[in-house]
Structure 1
Amino acid sequence: MSPLLPVTRYALILIPAVASIYLENYASDGTYAFFILLFIWVAELRRKIFKQSVWMLLVEIGFGGWLSSQYDGLLFMLFSSTLLTYLFTFHRSIRYSFFGLQLVLLNLSLHGQPSSYYVIANLMLSAQALLLLHMHRIEQNKVDIELLYDQLRRQHYELDEARMQLLDYAKQVENIAQLNERNRISRDIHDDLGHQLIRLKMMMEAALRILPAQMSKGMEMLTSVRDQLTESMELLRSTVRRLKPDDDSMQTFTLDRLIEGLTKENGISIDVDIQGMPYVLYPSLAFILYRNAQEAITNAIRHGGATRVHIQLIYETKQITMHVANNGQPPAGETVKGLGMTGMEERSKLIGGQLYVACEAPFSVTTVLPTFRQTH
C-alpha cells in the first residue's frame, strides 16, 4: 500500500481540481490553478519534510477547507487526500481529533450547496476513513501474525535442536555403556580365560616331559588339562553370549511378546494389522510403542471391559503410527487424564511424537513417533 499512497493522494487532488473547471465557472482560471498548485506544494512539503508536523497538517486541512468553500465543485474531495496522510501515522486520539475537524470544515465549506452534496461528501469521507482503518487493522494483524510465526518457527528450531541434542546424548550414553561393557569383557577374558590358557599350556608342556618316564602321572595331567579346557570353553561361550544378547533379551519390548502375555493372562483377542514396509526401529522407539500399547490395552480391559483389541501399525518414511482401538465401553463425559495416559503422552512428546485419543466408539489411542531415518 505504501508505493500507491502518493499516487492516490495526488489523484484525489488533481482529478477533482480538473473536473471542477468543467463543472463551475470561475472568475479567473489562472488564480484557481495557482491555488491548486499551492495546495500540491503544501502537500509535497508535508510528504518530504514535515511528515510528523501537526501544524503543517492543520495548515493543509484549513487550506483545503478554504479552497472547497471558495471554489465549490468537487474540491471537497481534497479532505480525502489529506485523510490518507495522517490516518496511519499519528496516535489514535490525534487521528480522531483531526477527522472531527475535517468533518466540521467539510460541512462549513459546503454552505449553500444542495443537500445531496452534504450527504455525498460526508458519506465519502466517513466510508474512506472506515475503509482505511480496516486496512490498517488488517496490516497490523498481518504484522502480528508474521511475528508470531517467526517466534513459533524459532521455537520449533530450538525444539528440534534440543531433540537432536537429546538423541545425541542418548547415543553417547549408549556408546559409553557399550564401551564399559566391552572393557569389562576384555578384562574377564584377560584375567580368567587368558590366565587359564597359560596355565594349561604349562601343564601340557610338563605332561609331555614326564609322559615317557611316568605314563600314569602324564595321563593324569592330560586328563586334568582336558577338564580345564572344557571349563575354558564354557567360559568362552558365556562371554560370547554376553557380547550378543539372546533372542529373549532382544525381544523383551516387542508387540508379539506383549500380545502373547496379555492374551494368556486376560483371555482377550488381539489382532495386528501392519501397513507399509516394516523396518528396524531404534530401541527407544520400540520401548515407547510397547509401553503405550500395554497401557492402552490395560485401560481397555480395566475401564472399558473390552474383549477385542485391534492394533494397526503404519510404517512411513519419516514416522511410525500405532493405532490401538477396542470394542469396550467409551468413557462417559469428559475424559480425565490419569497417570497412565499422562505417561503415554510424556513418553511420546519426549522424542517429538504426539498422542491422540478418540473417545467415541470405538475408543482408540493413536501414537505417532518420528523415526529419524536417513533415506537415500
Structure 2
Amino acid sequence: MTPLLLISRYALILVPAVASMYLQKYSAYGTYVFFILLLVWIAELRRITRLKSAWMLLLEIGFGAWLSYQYDGILFMLFYSTLLSYVHYVNKHLCYYFISIQLLLLNLSLHGQPASYYVMANLIFIAQSMLLLHMRQIDQNREEVELLYDQLRRQHYELDEARMQLMDYAKQVENIAQTDERNRISRDIHDDLGHKLIRLKMMMEASLRILPTQQSKGLEMLTSVKDQLTESMELLRTTVRRLKPDEDSLQTYSLERLIADLTKENGIAIEVQITGMPYVLYPSLAFILYRNAQEAITNAIRHGSASKVDIQLTYDPKQITMCVSNNGNLPAASSAKGIGMKGMEERSKLIGGQLFVTLKGYYSVTTVLPTYR
C-alpha cells in the first residue's frame, strides 16, 4: 500500500470517529474510544502481519459495521477505509464478494438514519469502488505492458546475439573456404610442379656430367629440360590464373556494372558520388547494396518516370551508407509499401542495417549497413 493510501485509510477511521463525538452524545466515551482504537489495531494488524486472510477481512468489515450501527454519526465512513485495504490485493472474484457484503452491511448499519444518509453513503461507496477497481485494472495493464516490454527487450538481445553469431559463422566459413583453397593449391603445386622441378634438376645435373664426354647426349638432355621447363611454366600460369576469378564473376554484383547496364537499357542518367575512404566490403554487403540500388532505380523509372538518379556512397569506419534519390514523381505519403520495398527492408535488417525513405524535394531511399571491419 502506498503512503498516500495508508494515510487515507487511517484518516477515514479517525476523522469520522472524532467528528461523531461532536455530532452524537454517547453515555460512555471511554468505551467508544476503546472500540475505535480496537478497530485501528485490527487494521494495523492486517497491514504489518501476514494475517491477510478472508476471515481477518470479514472481522474488520463486521466490526466496522457494528460500530456504525451502534454509534451512528458518520461512522459509515469506516466502510470506505476498509475498502481501500483490499481492492488492490484480493483476488478479483473475491473482491466483488467483499464489496457486495460491505454494501449490504452499510445499508443495514444505516437503519434509522435519514434518507439523505442512505443516498450519500451508497453513492460514495459505489463511486469509490468503481474508482479503485479502475485503478487496479490500470496497474494490471501497466504490469502486463512492462512484462511485454521485458520480453521484447530480451528477444531483441537474443536477435542481436544470433545476428552476431551468424556474422561470426560467415567469417569462419569464409576463412575455412580460403584455407581449403590454399591447401588445394599447395597440393597441386607440390604434386605437379614440385615433382617436375626436382626431376628437371636431376636431369640438368646428369647432363652437366656427361656433356664434356658425350656432347650430343648432353644437348639432347638439355633440350628435354627446356621443353619440360616450358610445360612447368605453363602449369604455373594455369595455377595462378585459377587463383584469380574472371572479370564477370568479380563484377556480378558491382554497382558500376549495374549503372552501365541500366544506362544502356533505359537511357537514364545515373551519377555516383563517393564520400570517405573506400574499402573492401564483404560479399554479403555488396550483394545487399547491389539489390537495393537495383530496386530503387527500377522503382524510380517504373513508378516515378525519373530521368536522373543520384547515388551517394558514404564510407564510415563502422558503417556504409547508400542514398539513392531521383527526380521523378513523388508517391503519396500514405501509399502502401510494395514487395520490392519490403524486400529491401528485410535484406537490410537481416545483418543489422536500416532502410529510410524520405520525400523532401526528391524521393530518396537510404540504406545503412554495419561493416563489421
The alignment's TM-score, normalised by the length of structure 1, stands at 0.81
Alpha-carbon offset, residue 57 of structure 1: 3.2
RMSD of aligned residue pairs (Cα, Å): 3.5
Contact kept in structure 2, 1:330 and 1:360, CA below 8 Å: no
Contact kept in structure 2, 1:9 and 1:84, CA below 8 Å: yes
**Could you tell me which amino acid in structure 2 is paired with residue 149 of structure 1?**
Y
Unaligned residue ranges in structure 1 (runs of 5+): none
Q: Does 1:188 align with 2:191?
A: no
Contact kept in structure 2, 1:69 and 1:111, CA below 8 Å: yes
Query: Structure 1 residues 315 and 107 mapped into 2: Cα distance closer, same or farther (>3 Å)?
Result: farther
Q: Secondary structure at the match of 2:27?
A: coil
Superposed, 1:258-337 pairs within 5 Å as 258-274=258-274, 278-315=278-315, 318-329=318-329, 334-335=335-336, 337=338
Query: Structure 1 residues 183 and 49 mapped into 2: Cα distance closer, same or farther (>3 Å)?
Result: closer
Alpha-carbon offset, residue 270 of structure 1: 1.5
**Could you tell me which amino acid in structure 2 is paired with residue 257 of structure 1?**
R
Superposed, 1:125-274 pairs within 5 Å as 125-215=125-215, 218-219=218-219, 221-243=221-243, 250=250, 252-274=252-274
Q: Does 1:40 align with 2:51?
A: no
Q: Secondary structure at the match of 2:320?
A: strand
Identify the residue that residue 102 of structure 1 maps to in structure 2: 102
Alpha-carbon offset, residue 138 of structure 1: 2.2
Query: Structure 1 residues 264 and 170 mapped into 2: Cα distance closer, same or farther (>3 Å)?
Result: same
Identify the residue that residue 10 of structure 2 maps to in structure 1: 10
Alpha-carbon offset, residue 149 of structure 1: 1.6
**Could you tell me which amino acid in structure 1 is paired with residue 283 of structure 2?**
P
Aligned equivalents of 1:278, 1:146: Cα separation in 2: 44
Aligned equivalents of 1:276, 1:109: Cα separation in 2: 84
Aligned equivalents of 1:40, 1:156: Cα separation in 2: 50
Contact kept in structure 2, 1:68 and 1:110, CA below 8 Å: yes
Contact kept in structure 2, 1:329 and 1:361, CA below 8 Å: no
Aligned equivalents of 1:371, 1:197: Cα separation in 2: 45
Q: Does 1:51 align with 2:48?
A: no
Alpha-carbon offset, residue 223 of structure 1: 4.7
Q: Which moved more, 1:149-158 or 1:353-362?
A: 353-362
Alpha-carbon offset, residue 292 of structure 1: 1.8
Aligned equivalents of 2:131, 2:104: Cα separation in 1: 20
Alpha-carbon offset, residue 356 of structure 1: 4.9
Q: Secondary structure at the match of 1:155?
A: helix
Aligned equivalents of 2:62, 2:274: Cα separation in 1: 79
Identify the residue that residue 348 of structure 1 maps to in structure 2: 348
Aligned equivalents of 1:253, 1:284: Cα separation in 2: 10
Q: Secondary structure at the match of 1:328?
A: coil
Aligned equivalents of 2:372, 2:22: Cα separation in 1: 75
Query: Structure 1 residues 49 and 353 mapped into 2: Cα distance closer, same or farther (>3 Å)?
Result: closer
- Residue correspondences, number: 371
Query: Structure 1 residues 139 and 318 mapped into 2: Cα distance closer, same or farther (>3 Å)?
Result: farther
The alignment's TM-score, normalised by the length of structure 2, stands at 0.82
Identify the residue that residue 86 of structure 2 maps to in structure 1: 86
Identify the residue that residue 77 of structure 2 maps to in structure 1: 77
Aligned equivalents of 2:324, 2:80: Cα separation in 1: 65
Query: Structure 1 residues 175 and 317 mapped into 2: Cα distance closer, same or farther (>3 Å)?
Result: closer
Q: Which moved more, 1:41-50 or 1:197-206?
A: 41-50
